[in-house]
Amino acid sequence: MNGIKSNFNVGKTQLLPFALTPERDLKTLVENRTVYNFKNCELNIFETNQSAEKVYLKFQSPVFTTMLQGKKVMHLSDAIPFDYLPGESVVLPEGAQMVIDFPLASFNTPTQCVALEIDKKKIQDTIARLNEHYQRIEDNGDWRMDQNQFHIHNSDELTNAVNRLISIPIETNHFIKDELADITVQELLIRLLQTQAYTLLTENTEYLQSSNRFAFVIQYIRINLAENLCIRKLATMACMSEPHFFRSFKRELGISPADFIIRERIKCAKKLLLEPSISVSDVCYRCGFNNLAYFTLRFKKAEGMTPSLFKRVTGTNM
């Protein structure tokens, strides 16, 4: 994945670490596995309690994995090896071979990962239902799993779905447990498709802006963050009515246009706050916030700290 990853994610939605396996119950220090079987899926919790290299893992069905804590180094077919960290997910087709290193794992600081093996038909049925009832505006109207986007940053919505999924095993009613798992897996698949669509558009905006109306709008937003960005004007640029633009943008990217603008302004603010000569109030107005108190509120909600504290902390770590 491209881009700098911030270490200041206190305010973001966090994945919930699973309860640590008692030492007496460990089957192995490397890839200790707990399995929960549900309708249409199998939930695996992997916990690694010592450093290791070249651990092989393969699933027969398509698999969605996400890191809870620790660090892995992933080796996938022809891809360049990459660090796999909390807040990220990897999506692989059936039968894909993973080779994994665990450079930091120990019993006191285990590496934990969720692997959700999903029935192939469940994936196909979910995508078919979306294509039947909620076609995309661009890309020939089709939803599909992008095999090229196998390593992604989790959206808050995707993280929330994963957290709901890993809480299901404590449910005592087996019927409810299966139905909850089925509904949550469907939501997770939809959130995953939205996250892939969001990543594709936001990381390839300049290339796609001439062929994708949402990419065109995103590029305009980024260039004009300091201006008053009216949703009505953005809808007109996309050749859509305001309600249709709002619904379609949120459905395809998993976020409303207004929240997307706030997110882009916060990203802009984080970059400017790294500059020692720029004051917090100057950053506020240069990023399109016309009220310092509101800027502080939104920044703290997104990053878990005020802009002033972020500026002090990042300044001491440069």
Three-state secondary structure call for residue 91: strand
Distance in Å from the first CA to the final CA of the chain:
23
Q: What architecture (CATH level 2) is domain 23-118?
A: Sandwich (2.60)
Kindly list the domain boundaries of the chain, sorted by start residue: 23-118, 122-204, 207-316
Cα–Cα dist 154/88, whole Å = 5
Cα 142-145-151 angle, rounded to 5 deg: 140
Contacts of residue 134, Cβ cutoff 8 Å, sequence gap at least 6: 143, 251
pLDDT band at 107 (very low <50, low <70, confident <90, very high): confident
How much of the chain exceeds pLDDT 70, in percent?
A: 89
For the residues 274-290, what does the mean pLDDT come to?
Answer: 94
Instruction: Give yes or no for residue 171 having a pLDDT over 90.
Output: no
For residue 46, what is the enclosing H or E element?
strand 41-48
Is 90 exceeded by the pLDDT of residue 318? no
pLDDT of residue 173: 83
Q: Which two tokens stand for residue 70?
A: 């620790």
> Per-residue pLDDT for 189 more than 80?
yes
Give φ, ψ of 68 to 5 degrees. -95, -45
- Biggest CA pair distance of the chain: 63
d(CA 105, CA 99): 16
Which CATH topology does 207-316 take? Arc Repressor Mutant, subunit A (1.10.10)
Kindly state the tokens that stand for 247: 């619904």
> How far is the C-alpha of 275 from the C-alpha of 265, rounded, in Å?
16
Q: Which residue has the tokens 């700098």?
A: 4
Q: CB–CB of 306/300 below 8 Å? A: yes
Give residue 19's pLDDT.
54
| CB hemisphere CA count around 243 (13 angstroms) | 0
Q: Average pLDDT of 105-122?
A: 92
Model confidence, pTM: 0.83
Between strands 72-76 and 63-69, the pairing is: unpaired
Quickly list H helices, 3-144: 120-133
Q: What distance in Å separates the CA atoms of residue 56 and residue 47, rounded to the nearest whole number?
A: 15
Q: Is the pLDDT of residue 186 over 50?
A: yes
Residues in contact with 19: Cβ distance below 8 Å, sequence separation at least 6, in sequence order: none
Structure token pair of residue 122? 């469940």
- pLDDT band of 175, cuts 50, 70, 90: confident
- Which whole number is the average pLDDT over 145-171? 90
The answer to whether residue 8 scores a pLDDT higher than 50 is no
Domains 23-118 and 207-316 share a fold: no
**Could you tell me which residue, 302 or 175, shows the higher pLDDT?**
302
Say yes or no to pLDDT of 71 above 60.
yes
Q: Residue 123's pLDDT is what?
A: 95
Cα gap 14→193, rounded to integer Å:
20
Give the pLDDT confidence score for residue 18 in this predicted structure. Answer: 54
pLDDT value of position 30:
66
